[in-house]
Amino acid sequence: MQAIAQTEYGAPDSLHLVDIAKPVLQDNEVLVRIKAASVDAGNWHLMRGTPFLIRLIYGGLWKPKYSVLGSASAGKVEAVGQAVTQFQPGDAVFGDLSENGFGGFAEYACTPATALAPKPDNLTFEAAATVPVSGVTALQALRDVGQVQEGQRVLIVGAAGGVGSFAIQIANAFGADVTGACSSQKAEMVKQIGAEHVIDYNQIDYTQPSQPYDLIVDTAAYRSFTDYLPALKPGGTYVMVGGSTTAFFRAMLFGPWLGKRQQHQVKCLTSQANQGDLLTLKELAETDKVTPFIDRTYPLSKVP
């Protein structure tokens, strides 16, 4: 089968289209013919091997442990292991392969059945493949860490990105009053997907709002978490989702102490792939509360 593989860490030119053996199916696994896979920040970092911490998490200190990347994927079940009862050949599925060796940038991938869920009926394979990483991250940031409530004022920083665009829609589904911060070029798109208010972060200081927020979800960490604390209501919550390793550890180590001093909560999200959240997002998609936004699509050979 064809796959995009790498033998060393580096820039996109370290990725090559190669012919490799089809993966061998284990008893608890599903063999999926991949129809689409999305590119996210995790794949970018693992391709480069930076920050160095990612090598400790996934293994491969000096060269990649996993030669074929690709986590968020969608496709059709080709075969199932003897212990699998949830799926059968021909089923359309989607899921996150990152906890099970990656492999989405290929024609076929094997993964435990628990990493998959039935594909939403109303989504194409391309649209479904954007959900398992970015959508799950947004859901966990809002529901589990931010504990969003109906009627709250919520700011999504980086609203036009993968996680941000899902966060706008999921916050809407929870009944929040949503503001999206993005560049002027993406403002119209952010409005279309449901933001009540849109801030051009190149023109307006979104850390100094006329009305403070109950919850801020920061998907990019362009600024220090301390800049956002004055923008929160007493008892409000700041959740860091993305950003540099330095920014993440600064927020994780000092955020709870500084936040408490100012009557706020500062939290960092480490998302976890799970089937239950895929099923929640499937329901949100099939009730038209979440619609993936796709910028561009490429054939497998153009992954680099």
What CATH number does the domain containing 228 carry?
3.40.50.720
C-beta of residue 244 within 8 angstroms of C-beta of residue 221: yes
Give the chain's domain count: 2
* Residue 176 burial (10 A CB sphere; 0-12, 13-18, 19+): buried
Q: How far apart are CA 219 and CA 244, in angstroms?
A: 11
The per-residue pLDDT for range 73-96, each reduced to its tens digit, is 999 999 999 999 999 999 999 999
Q: What is the mean pLDDT of the chain?
A: 91
Query: Is the model's pLDDT at 302 over the cut of 90?
Result: yes
Global pTM reads 0.93
Indicate if 88 and 197 belong to the same structural domain: no
Q: Report which of residues 213 and 50 the model is more confident about.
A: 213
| Model pLDDT, residue 136 | 97
Q: How far apart are CA 28 and CA 63, in angstroms?
A: 29
| Model pLDDT, residue 290 | 96
Q: How far apart are CA 105 and CA 36, in angstroms?
A: 8
Indicate if 167 and 256 belong to the same structural domain: yes
- Among 113, 129, 145, residue at a domain's last position: 129
Parent domain of 149: 133-268
Q: Report which of residues 112 and 263 the model is more confident about.
A: 112
Give a yes or no: residue 295 inside a domain. no
The per-residue pLDDT for range 233-276, each reduced to its tens digit, is 999 999 999 776 677 667 666 667 666 666 778 898 888 899 99
**What is the rounded average pLDDT of the residues 274-289?**
97
Of the candidates 169, 25, 174, 170, the residue with the CA atom closest to the CA atom of residue 103: 25
Percent of the chain at pLDDT > 90 equals: 72
The per-residue pLDDT for range 142-163, each reduced to its tens digit, is 999 999 999 999 999 999 999 9
- Among 129, 157, 181, residue at a domain's last position: 129
**Euclidean distance between the first and the last CA atom of the chain, given in angstroms as a whole number:** 18
Indicate if 100 and 12 belong to the same structural domain: yes
Give a yes or no: residue 30 inside a domain. yes
* Residue 217 burial (10 A CB sphere; 0-12, 13-18, 19+): buried
Q: How far apart are CA 153 and CA 135, in angstroms?
A: 20
Indicate if 137 and 254 belong to the same structural domain: yes
Indicate if 146 and 244 belong to the same structural domain: yes
Q: How far apart are CA 195 and CA 217, in angstroms?
A: 14
What CATH number does the domain containing 92 carry?
3.90.180.10
Give a yes or no: residue 299 inside a domain. no
- Among 104, 129, 154, residue at a domain's last position: 129
The angle, 0 to 180 degrees and rounded to 10, between the axes of the packed helices 162-173 and 275-286 is 70
Element (H, E) at 171: helix 162-173
Indicate if 142 and 262 belong to the same structural domain: yes
Indicate if 79 and 205 belong to the same structural domain: no
Indicate if 186 and 87 belong to the same structural domain: no
| Model pLDDT, residue 15 | 97
Sheet containing strand 72-80, strands side by side? 108-112, 29-37, 72-80, 92-96, 116-118
Indicate if 147 and 262 belong to the same structural domain: yes
Greatest mean pLDDT among 37-46, 246-255, 277-286 lies in 277-286
Sheet containing strand 213-218, strands side by side? 197-200, 177-182, 153-157, 213-218, 232-240, 265-268
Please identify which residue in the block is written with the tokens 């212990």.
83
| Model pLDDT, residue 4 | 98
Indicate if 64 and 123 belong to the same structural domain: yes
Please identify which residue in the block is written with the tokens 């970092």.
45
Give a yes or no: residue 296 inside a domain. no
Please identify which residue in the block is written with the tokens 């284990």.
26
Give a yes or no: residue 274 inside a domain. no
| Model pLDDT, residue 110 | 97
| Model pLDDT, residue 245 | 67
The per-residue pLDDT for range 181-235, each reduced to its tens digit, is 998 889 899 999 999 999 988 888 878 888 899 999 999 877 888 888 899 999 9
| Model pLDDT, residue 253 | 66
Q: Report which of residues 55 and 77 the model is more confident about.
A: 77
Indicate if 238 and 176 belong to the same structural domain: yes
- The upper half-sphere exposure of residue 102, i.e. CA atoms within 13 Å in the direction of its Cβ, equals 23
| Model pLDDT, residue 119 | 98
Q: How far apart are CA 284 and CA 169, in angstroms?
A: 9
CA dihedral sign, ordered 45, 39, 148, 179: positive
Residue 10, phi then psi, degrees to nearest 5: 165, -165
Give a yes or no: residue 49 inside a domain. yes
